[in-house]
Structure 1
Amino acid sequence: MERVWLNRAMHVGFFLLLAASASRLLFRHGLNQESIRNVSLAAGLGVVYAAGVVFWRRLGHRGRLAWLVVVLLLWLVLVELAPSFSWCAIPLFFVCLRLLSPPLTIVAATVLTVAVIVAQIYLADSFDPSQVLAPVAVAAMTVVIFWELRRAGILEERERLSREIHDTIAQGLTSQRMLLQAADRAWESDPGRARSYLRQAMAQAGDNLEEARRFVRDLGPADLAGRSLPDALKAISDDFRQEGVEYPLDPKTQAVLLRVAQGALANAREHAHADRVVVTLSYLEGEVTLDVFDDGVGFDQAVPGPGRGYGLRGMRDRLAEVGGSLVVESVPGEGTAVAARIPS
């Protein structure tokens, strides 16, 4: 998964280091033919780098690789002419790590590290081991940190997709299965009712397809497209109640509350066998709350049962992302109450 903030920070860092290197060059050597040439080359490198950032999506993977090769070649020439520009190596490390396969990343990191070592030795009055050890240590730490961030991003994206699949596709398929089973039972005795169930199943399939497209693009729930949170909750529940005066909520908060409601309703339908489910959305001072109560079979919270663990954990994970919390109260034979709280 792309870490947008990290990419932007590295781009900004590159331009700042490029400007710092150019200022150091002019400060130490003044305006002469050689310094003007080197600063002009640095400006050209900056333009090429900026063009790649601006047209990143249009370039495609091959275009980005070609752009990276040009940037690295220009930088190596610049470091050969003016070693102080070796400071730009760190953001270039990150670009290599972002675009290249692990074997090519190692090659690129080695080339960049060697160039920095040579530049440090050239700039120093005398040799000492830190001129070799420091660049090697920085390169190693950069590679390890970036790969760890990438691994964490992949795990985070997998968790997001698993929650979305559980709360949309899995629940939708369960509903379709129930509708199709009902249609099969009514096929001989009541063809009209069977066709009604089939139409509902087809509509459910269409809704599932739209939800799948949206969560792959990391968009909000389709039920919130063009409607408020109370309206979306009314659409998915038979008994909806609103308390307090509605006020604007962050889109992420609305999406989380809707997903929690969908998960709680699915649990009540699939596991609790409830006759009645009441959904209450309360706009309070300083927080918004969502309560879902069903009169189903309930369960013993000390004894995890099939189908309950992941759904409740997914609700808690979603709420934690927006600073919220979840409380579940249930007694066998007396129903279940799910209460979500999010600071507003």
Structure 2
Amino acid sequence: MRGTRSIPWFANHVIFFAFRWLAWGVTVLVLLYGGRAAAYAPLLAVTALVNIAGTIFARQYTRLAQRNPLALGADILYTVLVIAWSGGWSSPFVFYAYSSLVLPGLLDGVRGWVMSSLSFVSMAAMLLWATDQPPAAELAEDGWLPLALVLVVPLMVGFALPWLIETVRQMLANRRDTRAARLPPPRLERPVGGEPPRFAADARAAARNRERWLNDAPLAMQITKTRTTEQSVEELRRVIFTPLAPADADLGTALDLLAARFGQHTGTPARVTLLGRTRLLNPLHRDLLVRLAREALLNVQQHAHAGSAVLTLRYDAHSVALMIQDDGVGLLDGTHERPGLHALRAMQYRLSEFGGRLDVFETEGGGVTVRATMPLE
């Protein structure tokens, strides 16, 4: 069975700042169409600089927001100040301000939507009232539409947009799993010379040739290679199995620390992608998934000859899935049920004890995906 790679462009931080840039662009077009761009040039420049800084530190900001909701409150206050600075109830930056409601809904579901939307509406009303822009005066001057855009529409946007994103994510995940299940098994070929069958993939040709050259080398060189590899793997094992601090950190934080250790020690970049709203995990489930990530990264270093690794953590309504993907040589004999990968078989049995499932399969285009799925309790 094959699988498709994760969708990093659908991660929370990407969606958040993509929407913010989209809203900023729409605002620019509206101002250009109305001939008011010059009047709002300073504010456009300030919001663009904030967008650039936010895009650079998008992943870090999202992690901070997961740990400290005050960061989300500060972002809502920022967008409300933009509204107050740009004309109050009739501000052309209202659509831009809605961007502060996206991330809370993605991270915390209905609770995030309710808290962020009510905070937005109350902050906007109080600030505009404090700047001598009461709702009654606005109603008499411009009608009900500006009031609705600031006091009513945010409630709908804060709920509808995160819900729509989660629905699309689920559809894509189901479609990916269905396609993976329907694909035929990988094609096998037997090279001339009677060697064991290997998977045919252009991306793995260089690594395969390197292995053949090493295997044909003199015995002394092979012994040196084996000892060096064993020492390197044992050193990596000590590094990534060092206890993660703090011990009660959420799964995403633990994976970040683990990926950083792996990359620093091996020189192989490893990144973590978070999909869906973070949910509370049973500590036993968390520790089990961390252990799986450790064993999978050890295999990446020892067997895959990969240039990079991606850890994708996806939360669904009733389950959590962890995928460790590499771009290495793949499953050279077509299965992980072989000597050298016994740790994954042990993890498979362990996951099944908790109602989980482990799948190991070659990824389309090269490399291996280790995917664990566990129910939420």
Instruction: Normalising by structure 1, report the TM-score.
Output: 0.41
Indicate the structure (1 or 2) with the bigger Cα radius of gyration: 1
Q: Compare the two structures and name the one with the higher helix fraction.
A: 1
Instruction: Normalising by structure 2, report the TM-score.
Output: 0.39
